[in-house]
Amino acid sequence: MRSILLLLALSVPVVAVAPGCQLASRQRVQSTNRMNEGIKAEKKGNTSSAERYLKEAIEIDPTHSKAHYTLGLVYQKQSKLVDAAKAFEDAVENMGDAPDANYIFKLGVVTAAQGEQAGAAQADKEAKYKEAITKYQETLKLDPNHYQASYRMGVLYERLDNPVQADSAFRKAIELNANFSASFVSLGNMYIDYGHANVGQAVLETGVKVNDKDADMWNGLGRAQRALNKPKEAVDSFKTAKAIDPDMPDVLFGLGMAYADLRQRNEAVEALQGFLSKAGNDVPEHLKKAANSTIARMQDVI
């Protein structure tokens, strides 16, 4: 027996646990296993089972922040925004010594989405947008390189009619990730909407050099050029956007209106009819009216 014990002592290494190394509790291990089952179920499209597994994971270990976060993602995918916000709040509350900026970021995303819901009162929209901005600011404190948080701050500042802060947020997002073309698109379009098409054009010309495969970028550039009374250049930009995304209503509208500026009647009518055929309920009515009136004007040969 003594020889066997000696053999074991020589052959089995002693595992030294460093002071900073923490072994997961049995509760956390069980919770993680249940959470993973939920993730598998969600990947298979079985949302109800995913919710059940994730709720069980949280029951096993209520401090398991990742389980709360994953449940929030499942709720968000179903547009259950109130439930998603609560789950992300619980995830943030239980981050402990291992904070994750994305948990706070996602809370900001669903908070802003609540403000975007149809029928929401203007005061409620603004309150949610301001709350979401706070979450994005907290995200950036935790992760100063989180360009999407900066970008979304810009979007909300613009909605709150605060172009100066929107400009700063969009430019910061570009500084953090110049390949994220949405920042150029939003910044350029904001300048166009506020009556500074020349600045918008400069931003979007820089943007197409960064990403020349973004239909929104070319569409924005076309808008700026048309606002600056450059219809030929606008047609070229809109045509480039159309080649990238043939079904984008905004592009077809801009192309048709630019052709109308050039008195190219047939091309204008074709593009605007294409726009009307693809314009859904989310397209503003004043654009549909403008398209119809322009078609009528182009078809009036007198």
Is residue 213 situated within a structural domain? no
Same domain for 162 and 126?
yes
Is residue 281 situated within a structural domain? no
Q: pTM score, two decimals?
A: 0.86
pLDDT category at 225 given cuts 50, 70, 90 is very high
Is residue 135 situated within a structural domain? yes
Last residue of one domain, picked from the residues 137, 154, 177: 177
pLDDT category at 97 given cuts 50, 70, 90 is confident
Q: How far is CA 53 from CA 39, 68, 91, 103, 261, in A?
A: 9, 11, 16, 20, 59
Long-range Cβ pairs for the range 3-9 (8 Å, 24+): none
Percentage of the chain exceeding pLDDT 70:
91
* Structural domain count of the chain: 2
Q: What is the pLDDT of residues 99-141, one digit of tens each?
A: 999 999 999 999 999 999 988 899 999 999 999 999 999 999 9
Q: Stretch 235-239: mean pLDDT, rounded?
A: 98
Q: Stretch 15-20: mean pLDDT, rounded?
A: 40
* CA 233 from centre of chain: 30
Is residue 225 situated within a structural domain? no
Asked if pLDDT for residue 4 goes beyond 50, the answer is no
Asked if pLDDT for residue 2 goes beyond 80, the answer is no
pLDDT category at 25 given cuts 50, 70, 90 is confident
Is residue 60 situated within a structural domain? yes
Sign of CA dihedral 43, 44, 46, 49: negative
Q: What is the pLDDT of residues 162-196, one digit of tens each?
A: 999 999 999 999 999 999 999 999 999 999 999 99
Last residue of one domain, picked from the residues 66, 98, 130: 98
Asked if pLDDT for residue 201 goes beyond 50, the answer is yes
Is residue 33 situated within a structural domain? yes
**3-class SS letters over the chain:** CHHHHHHHHHHCCCCCCCCCCCCCCHHHHHHHHHHHHHHHHHHCCCHHHHHHHHHHHHHHCCCCHHHHHHHHHHHHHCCCHHHHHHHHHHHHHCCCCCCCHHHHHHHHHHHHHHHCCCCCCHHHHHHHHHHHHHHHHHHHHHCCCCHHHHHHHHHHHHHCCCHHHHHHHHHHHHHHCCCCHHHHHHHHHHHHHCCCHHHHHHHHHHHHHHCCCCHHHHHHHHHHHHHCCCHHHHHHHHHHHHHHCCCCHHHHHHHHHHHHHCCCHHHHHHHHHHHHHHCCCCCCHHHHHHHHHHHHHHHCCC
The CATH number of the domain holding residue 125 is 1.25.40.10
What does the pLDDT read at residue 240? 98
Nearest alpha carbon to residue 216 among 237, 199, 233, 193: 237
Query: Residue 126: which domain range?
Result: 121-177
Nearest alpha carbon to residue 73 among 50, 97, 98: 50
Asked if pLDDT for residue 6 goes beyond 80, the answer is no
What does the pLDDT read at residue 18? 39
Instruction: Look over the chain and give the mean of its residue pLDDT values, rounded to a whole number.
Output: 91
Is residue 131 situated within a structural domain? yes
Same domain for 140 and 87?
no
Is residue 21 situated within a structural domain? no
What does the pLDDT read at residue 8? 30
